[in-house]
């Protein structure tokens, strides 16, 4: 197969961390990454917050800027490593004072404000478990995740609490402490002030001994069926966060790094908090939402050198800044400091890579990973040629393979064995050989779903891919019904369940429909209860109902009425068929459907 190649010819201004791919793959092992960690003083183990903050203070870099927080009002609040060490220590002391300890779950439902970063690091210092939620979730995803995750503490704002939590609080009996960030004239009952507690707490905190296998983070991810799954990550994962940010994002300690992902998603934690701080870089945090001018301004004004974003964001910028034709962006902005751009989360179309090269002056480097892997697994590297449309090649220390699939579209496991497809350009399920430090340790309280991810010594990713003759991996699609919209993973079951709570809805089937900018948007097909008439009014009502319950990040964008949803004989809606019909694709084998002879 012939593909366009972007050759890296000019010598880069900064020597890449990974200069020779083959040599790095031959010589690297994860012990080298572990050896790069400071470790807690006196050999008391490894704690992410120590690596991310206290280490730098202890090594004399406390005055360096850790965060540059850009507010919605454009005001910039810089936070030094020493300041972040103190603020996170205060929060750790608050938790200790509340009797919250090792393994207890601390949830956040916050925008990207400095307090989110203090809370995250303070929770890790206290050896409690951090579970960051996306603030655009509606009450239903919040309730589900807090129940499943056994939340003891929630840090949020008064506004978010009133809108999303107050109404479900009685369903969360384990939630003992709710701390509200920001002033409150009339604090809601059962809440405390974050500022009052942290301001009163001591600013010194000695991190207790922490084993690298102690749980640090809980990230919920979506499956095809059932409730969201809580992927458990440990403190020792920081070795992989640090090493992969150096390899795949070419991050150096003096970089100014902007990861646009929200910490409510794994990218915003692994690479928005842990990795760049562990490397001692300066992290730009933007509280605001996407806006092309705002983003170009932040890149320019904050002197961003390394930028990690999502394909949907790149496509939105492409719209605002076409390659040809009259445009004034980003010409009005000085992006000369930017030296590396990467993206993750969904397929990056070749056009977007080339747009980066032509408009930003830098190609966009796609990389691949997922909540379960905890860190980047496959990437296009600073020193390597790019094949636009390819996710790149496995990182040093990562073994990836394409496995032969069975009729269900997943890796075929026969007698406990899988078949690795050695020939180039063959489609199959992408699999990884377990063993890297940030591999999830299982789904919380769900051994069956954890076990289903492994076969014959491989971790099965649920993605379909192919590998070309030169070892570059190409994304083919999801092997399941999970939807990726604007970089966010959405479980169709969660959306269907919410819709079916509306009294007019009998049944729902939810799919992803291709979209030029968001990659995919959520579309729901619903059948109505007897006597209910379809119509635009009901359509609007259902869209609003879903948005209220699920929040804008998860709710369907489109709803269609269909009284004959395709179902299996056991009564399950067949999303594959809904998708085929929507896209005008062949329907495939329909012999197991209801109504077929
Ligand atoms: P999440 O666990 O939310 O990070 O989502 C992980 C999923 O996002 C993967 O399993 C893929 O389906 C998708 N994904 C991540 N990176 C890429 C990429 N570079 N190209 C295509 N799909 C991607």
Q: How far is CA 478 from CA 172, 379, 430, 484, 543, in A?
A: 34, 18, 10, 9, 26
Torsion of CA 290, 551, 144, 131, to 10 degrees: 20
Q: Which of 107, 97, 226 is nearest to 156 (CA)?
A: 107
pLDDT value at residue 592: 63
Gap between the Cα atoms of 232 and 453, Å rounded: 14
Q: Kindly tell me the number of DSSP H helices and DSSP E strands found in the chain.
A: 19, 26
Q: Atom 5, ligand 1: which residue's CA is nearest?
A: 370
Q: Which of 162, 108, 105, 110 is nearest to 139 (CA)?
A: 162
- Give the pLDDT mean for 552-569: 92
Contact between 576 and 588 (Cβ < 8 Å): yes
For 407-450, the pLDDT digits (tens) are 889 999 999 999 999 999 999 999 999 999 999 999 999 999 99
Name the token pair of 444.
Answer: 């919380």
Q: Which atom of ligand 1 is nearest to the CA of 372?
A: 2
Gap between the Cα atoms of 66 and 62, Å rounded: 9
pTM (2 decimals)?
0.94
- Measure CA of the first residue to CA of the last residue in the chain; give whole Å: 43
Residues with CB under 6 A from ligand 1: 221, 265-266, 344-347, 366-368, 370-371, 391, 461-463, 475, 478, 484, 489
Which domains are delineated in the chain?
A: 36-289 (3.40.50.12780), 483-583 (3.30.300.30)
Q: Atom 3, ligand 1: which residue's CA is nearest?
A: 489
Q: Give CB contacts under 8 A, 24+ apart, made by 426-429.
A: 426/402, 426/466, 426/467, 427/402, 427/464, 427/465, 427/466, 427/476, 428/402, 428/403, 428/404, 428/464, 428/465, 428/466, 429/402, 429/403, 429/405, 429/460, 429/461, 429/462, 429/463, 429/464, 429/465, 429/479
Ligand 1 centroid to 345 CA: how many Å?
4
Beta-carbon contacts of 137 under 8 Å, excluding residues fewer than 6 positions away, are: 109, 145, 164, 264, 550, 551, 553, 554
For 256-313, the pLDDT digits (tens) are 999 999 999 999 999 999 999 999 999 999 999 999 999 999 999 999 999 999 999 9
Ligand 1 centroid to 186 CA: how many Å?
43
Gap between the Cα atoms of 462 and 139, Å rounded: 28
- Give the pLDDT mean for 583-597: 72
* Ligand 1 mutation target, pool 141, 223, 370, 490, most atoms within 8 A of CB: 370
- Give the pLDDT mean for 386-397: 97
Q: Atom 4, ligand 1: which residue's CA is nearest?
A: 370
Ligand 1 centroid to 98 CA: how many Å?
38
pLDDT value at residue 324: 63
- Give the pLDDT mean for 461-478: 96
Ligand 1 centroid to 7 CA: how many Å?
25
């Amino acid at each position: 197969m012939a593909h366009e190649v972007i050759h890296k010819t000019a010598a880069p201004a900064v020597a890449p961390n990974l200069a020779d791919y083959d040599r790095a793959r031959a010589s690297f092992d994860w012990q080298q990454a572990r050896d790069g960690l400071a470790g807690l003083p006196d050999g008391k183990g490894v704690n992410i917050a120590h690596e991310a903050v206290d280490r730098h203070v202890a090594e004399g870099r406390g005055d360096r800027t850790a965060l540059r927080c850009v507010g919605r009002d454009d005001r910039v609040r810089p936070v030094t490593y020493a300041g972040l060490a103190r603020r996170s220590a205060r929060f750790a002391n608050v938790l200790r004072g509340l009797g919250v300890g090792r393994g207890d779950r601390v949830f956040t439902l916050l925008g990207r404000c400095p307090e989110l970063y203090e809370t995250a690091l303070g929770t890790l210092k206290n050896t409690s478990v951090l579970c960051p939620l996306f603030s655009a979730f509606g009450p239903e995803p919040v309730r589900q995740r807090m129940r499943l995750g056994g939340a003891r503490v929630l840090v949020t704002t008064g506004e978010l609490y009133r809108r999303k939590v107050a109404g479900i609080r009685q369903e969360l009996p384990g939630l003992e402490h709710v701390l509200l960030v920001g002033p409150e004239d009339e604090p809601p009952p059962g809440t405390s002030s974050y500022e009052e507690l942290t301001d009163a707490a001591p600013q010194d905190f000695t991190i207790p001994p922490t084993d690298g296998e102690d749980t640090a983070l809980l990230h919920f991810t979506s499956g095809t069926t059932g409730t969201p799954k809580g992927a458990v990550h440990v403190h020792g994962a920081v070795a992989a966060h640090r090493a992969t940010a150096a390899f795949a994002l070419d991050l150096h300690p003096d970089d100014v790094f902007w990861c646009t992902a929200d910490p409510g998603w794994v990218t915003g934690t692994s690479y928005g908090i842990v990795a760049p701080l562990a490397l001692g870089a300066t992290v730009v945090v933007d509280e605001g939402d996407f806006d092309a001018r705002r983003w170009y301004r932040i890149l320019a004004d904050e002197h961003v050198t390394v930028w990690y974003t999502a394909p949907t964001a790149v496509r939105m910028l492409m719209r605002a800044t076409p390659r040809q034709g009259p445009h004034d962006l980003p010409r009005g902005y000085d992006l000369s400091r930017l030296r590396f751009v990467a993206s993750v989360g969904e397929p990056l179309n070749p056009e977007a890579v080339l747009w980066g090269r032509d408009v930003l002056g830098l190609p966009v480097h796609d990389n691949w990973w997922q909540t379960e892997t905890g860190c980047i697994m496959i990437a296009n590297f600073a020193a390597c040629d790019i094949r636009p449309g390819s996710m790149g090649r496995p990182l040093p220390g990562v073994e990836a393979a394409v496995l032969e699939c069975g009729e269900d579209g997943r890796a075929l496991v026969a007698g406990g064995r899988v078949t690795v497809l050695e020939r180039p350009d063959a489609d199959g399920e992408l699999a990884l050989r377990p063993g890297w430090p940030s591999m999830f340790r299982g789904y919380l309280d769900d051994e069956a779903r954890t076990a289903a991810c492994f076969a014959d010594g491989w971790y099965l990713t649920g993605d379909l891919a192919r590998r070309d003759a030169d070892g570059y991996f190409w994304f083919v699609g999801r092997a399941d019904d999970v939807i990726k919209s604007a970089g966010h993973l959405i479980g169709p079951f969660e959306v269907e369940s919410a819709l079916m709570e509306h009294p007019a809805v009998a049944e729902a089937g939810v799919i992803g429909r291709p979209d030029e900018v968001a990659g995919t948007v959520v579309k729901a097909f619903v059948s109505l209860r007897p006597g209910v008439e379809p119509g635009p009014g009901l359509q609007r009502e259902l869209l609003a109902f879903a948005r209220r319950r699920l929040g804008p990040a998860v709710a369907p964008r489109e709803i269609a009425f269909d009284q004959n949803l395709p179902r299996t004989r056991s009564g399950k809606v067949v999303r594959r068929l809904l998708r085929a019909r929507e896209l005008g694709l062949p329907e495939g084998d329909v012999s197991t459907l209801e109504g077929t002879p």
